[in-house]
Amino acid sequence: MKTSEVPRAVAAGMSTASALGLRVDDAVVVHDSNRIAVRLLPCDVLARVAYVAHQAGAKFEVEVARRLAQTDSPVAEPEPRVEPRVYVRGDFAVTLWKYYEPVPSRDIAPSEYAQVLERLHAGMRQIDVTAPHFTDRIAQAQSLVGNRAHTPELPDTERELLSKTLRNLRRAVEGRGAGEQLLHGEPHPGNLLRTKRGLLFVDLETCCRGPVEFDIAHAPQEVSEYYPAANQDLLRDCRILVLAMIATWRWDRDDQLPNGRQLGAEWLSQIRAALDRHDAGGSDGAQ
């Protein structure tokens, strides 16, 4: 979120909680990207504040989290003292969540990561929600790559690389005809919190339907060793596809991630190396 907008966004979160009867004397921004997360005190609630144009995604996230909480899935839950929904306050869409006190950080063992991701997938198989297909997210990346106005700093050679990779790997993944279910969509380490309650996934607005290999591809490489039933060829394709998607987001002119362009350049180099290994393995997915 633009720095100039943060004070107003914080105020929107505070006033929303206060109007619902929660005591709010102070607020601390704990995360700032395309939306901000604000810890409200002393009620100890986490307010997620986005631009009102993104309220559909916020509504979807709350509904998925509410349903998953009923299955005891490892996810952050909406704040139980208020109605779980989106609250519009001026230019902002506000959702209120339980605040989970973080515990001292330590590395998450691959086996531990795999176990919590499997629990999440099991919970997702128990709920029925209308969700986009994972290829819709690929299409969004393809649209960005094809729109020079929205990715003005992306060099032509890199634009061609991303365009071919997204197109060909999407075709390869779809062509495998794997079984599909509800997925997190981006279960990478940044969306997995270590709390006193245990490991919890956040940011469920990216949920989509697709093969579990698409989710596994977001996790560290070692995690896949604990998924012996996963299709390894499909997982390899998904890893390159995901890398191309996240590299694309970093070249979006509106991307707010610190050092985003640097990361985008680094990931493009990784894509080239991955495609070289991919081709050496005899697969035709990215030719």
The C-alpha torsion from 145 through 149 and 155 to 158, rounded to 10°, is 0
Over the stretch 141-196, which tens digit does the pLDDT of each residue have?
A: 999 999 999 999 999 999 999 999 999 999 999 999 899 999 999 999 999 999 99
What pLDDT band is residue 22 in, cutting at 50, 70 and 90?
Answer: very high
pLDDT at 279 over 90: no
pLDDT at 103 (0 to 100)? 85
pLDDT at 201 (0 to 100)? 97
pLDDT at 281 (0 to 100)? 66
Contacts 24+ apart (CB under 8 A), 230-235: 231/176, 231/178, 233/176, 233/283, 234/173, 234/176, 234/178
Question: Do the bridges between strand 181-183 and strand 92-98 make them parallel or antiparallel, or are there none, so unpaired?
Answer: unpaired
Do 240 and 131 fall within a single domain?
Answer: yes
Do 37 and 66 fall within a single domain?
Answer: yes
Over the stretch 94-149, which tens digit does the pLDDT of each residue have?
A: 999 999 988 876 789 999 999 999 999 999 999 999 999 999 999 999 999 999 99
Do 58 and 143 fall within a single domain?
Answer: no
pLDDT at 285 over 90: no
pLDDT at 282 (0 to 100)? 53
Do 258 and 119 fall within a single domain?
Answer: yes
Do residues 51 and 91 touch, judged by C-beta distance below 8 A? yes
Q: Is 165 helix (H, G, I), strand (E, B) or coil?
A: helix
With respect to residue 104, please indicate whether it lies within any of the assigned structural domains: no
Q: Tokens representing 143?
A: 């649209």
Q: Is 75 helix (H, G, I), strand (E, B) or coil?
A: strand
Looking at the DSSP assignment, which residues form a beta bridge with residue 75?
201
Do 77 and 121 fall within a single domain?
Answer: no
Q: Which CATH number covers residue 29? A: 3.30.200.20
With respect to residue 103, please indicate whether it lies within any of the assigned structural domains: no
Do 259 and 140 fall within a single domain?
Answer: yes
Structural domain that includes position 212: 110-283
What pLDDT band is residue 280 in, cutting at 50, 70 and 90?
Answer: low
What pLDDT band is residue 286 in, cutting at 50, 70 and 90?
Answer: very low
Task: Evaluate the CA torsion angle 261, 263, 265, 268 in order and state its sign.
Answer: negative
Over the stretch 57-101, which tens digit does the pLDDT of each residue have?
A: 999 999 999 999 999 999 999 999 999 999 999 999 999 999 998
With respect to residue 105, please indicate whether it lies within any of the assigned structural domains: no
